[in-house]
Chain A
Amino acid sequence: MSTSTEKEMWVTKLRKGWQKNLPVEKLLPDTQPAYVASWIYLFGVATLASLGLIIATGLWLSFEGASWYHGSNVGHFVNSLHFWSVQFFFVFMVVHLWGKFWMAAWRGRRMLTWITGALAFVGSIATAFTGYLVQSNFDSQWISYEAKDGFNSVGIGSRFTVTNFGQMLLLHVAFLPVIIGIITLIHVLLVRAKGVVPPIDAFNKELGERK
């Protein structure tokens, strides 16, 4: 029988922490503060939507295979959808980053939100890089031969071999997307847990407490 003096299991600690920091009302709120009524707040979710498209079209490409996406009209189209989703993903992410930078959105214990965002940015660049390496054309050959010198010069060429097609393909379709997915999930959960940061000059009661 458990008594209050007994040590708590990690499951119990996790549940209590979760209930305290991210109750379902915070996870799925009905309303947002008045200051969120601006286009600039849509760029996070636009980035998220682009990421969804990237993953969906990427899965489609993987299931059909290279001879399909390099050799058929529909394959070319889905390949292009994948590519252009990435272009928009980065454009939206950069505008999102600028927006959060100029509103100093790391205020009020939101440092981890900023850090996970920065990690998502760097991780996305790595993922896009491996994507360019697996086009199996002269472009990817050129990029990998330029990049291998860079990787060798910083001493990580033997682990991260950019001319190894198999390694780059697996990193691109398996490892890196999972990492990006996990970082993004933590990022968005943190935003929900902390609530949207009030504007820098928001002393107004109506806008909530200044945190």
Chain B
Amino acid sequence: MGIFDHFMNLRAVYIHLGWFQISITNLIVVLGMLVLFGLALFLPFPGNKKKGQK
């Protein structure tokens, strides 16, 4: 039934680095969360420019 069924039936691909092992899927999720965390800290929040601020 199309591309998604094909995708769902594939075996997960794992990265092995010695004792460390993680699936590509989980790695993407973890990296995505780290990126989101970084963006949340460093992106300027709209409407927080008050008097006396540049």
Total chain B interface residues with beta-carbon distance under 8 A:
13
Partner of A91, one of B29, B45, B47: B29
Assess whether A39 is in contact with B47, with CB atoms less than 8 Å apart. no
Q: Are B45 and A99 in contact (CB under 8 A)?
A: no
B33 and A91 form a contact (CB under 8 A): yes
A37 touches B37 (CB 8 A): no
Q: Which of chain A's residues have a CB closer than 8 A to the CB of B13?
A: none
| A34→B50 CA distance, assembly (Å) | 9
Return the contact of A39 from the options B29, B32, B40, B50 (Cβ within 8 A): B40
The reply on A40 being an interface residue by CB < 8 A is yes
Minimum distance in angstroms from A4 CB to a CB of chain B: 48
Q: Is the CB of A39 within 8 A of B33?
A: no
Chain B 13-39, CB-CB to A under 8 Å as 1, else 0, gives 000000000000000010011001101
A99 contacts B37, C-beta separation under 8 Å: yes
**B contact patch SS:** helix
Instruction: Please tell me if A200 contacts chain B, counting CB pairs below 8 Å.
Output: no
- Which residues of chain B have C-beta atoms less than 8 A from A14's C-beta? none
User: What distance in Å separates the Cβ of B45 from its nearest Cβ neighbour in chain A?
Assistant: 5
Contact partner of A95 among B40, B43, B48, CB < 8 A?
A: B40
A171 to B1, CA, bound (A): 33
Q: Is the CB of A98 within 8 A of B45?
A: no
B41 at the interface (CB under 8 A from A): yes
The answer for the CA separation of A138 and B23 in the assembled complex, in Å, is 20
A37 & B48 in contact (Cβ 8 Å cutoff): yes
Interchain CA distance A184-B52 in the complex, whole Å: 38
CB-based contact A94/B48 at 8 Å: no
Return the chain A residue nearest B8 by Cβ: A139
8 A Cβ contacts from A22-51 to B? 34, 37-40, 42-43
- Contact indicator B37/A98 (Cβ below 8 Å): yes
Instruction: Find residues 127-146 in chain A having any chain B CB closer than 8 Å to their own CB.
Output: none
Across the interface, name the chain A residue whose C-beta is closest to B43: A39
- A95-B47 contact, Cβ under 8 Å, with A40-B41, A43-B40: no
Contact A37-B32, Cβ < 8 Å, known A43-B40, A99-B40: no
Spell out A's residues near B (CB within 8 Å).
34, 37-40, 42-43, 91, 94-95, 98-99
- Supply 23 A–B pairs (Cβ within 8 Å), ascending by A: A34-B48, A34-B50, A37-B45, A37-B47, A37-B48, A38-B41, A38-B45, A38-B48, A39-B39, A39-B40, A39-B41, A39-B43, A40-B40, A40-B41, A42-B40, A43-B40, A91-B32, A94-B33, A95-B33, A95-B37, A98-B33, A98-B37, A99-B37
